[in-house]
Homo-oligomer: A and B are copies of this chain.
Amino acid sequence: MMKKIEAIIRPEMLDRVKKVLEQKGCVAMTITDAKGRGEQKGITLQFRGRSMEVDTLPKIKIEMVVMDEIADAVINAIADAARTGKFGDGKIFVLPVEEAIRVRTGERSRDYP
């Protein structure tokens, strides 16, 4: 069985997270730019006299599908590497995955992506 790990982290922490994961042998991942807000306060911007609320800040979303067995280790590794201890450090969510297919070969599997 597999899990999908979705980690939303600070952009400046991406390198450190990648490095830690590499050391663990987990290189496969998909990365997306995102914006988000959690418990952080919003910021008010102004555009030529009009004010605008910019309450979301840039974040990076890392998606990794991994085997059940290593999910916990991966989660902890990401959390530790991405932590600064301040608001905005992010969240990690774990979702169930039913199947994975390798496009190159067409192999389908319920186990390893």
Contact = CB atoms under 8 A, between A and B. Distances in A.
Interface residues of A, number: 55
Given A91-B100, A94-B98, A32 B31 contact: no
Instruction: State the copy count for this chain.
Output: 3
A101 interface: yes
Interface in A66-113: 75-76, 78-80, 82-104, 106, 108, 113
A95 to B, nearest CB: 6
A83 to B, nearest CB: 6
Interface of A: 3-4, 7-9, 18, 27-39, 55-56, 59, 61, 65, 75-76, 78-80, 82-104, 106, 108, 113
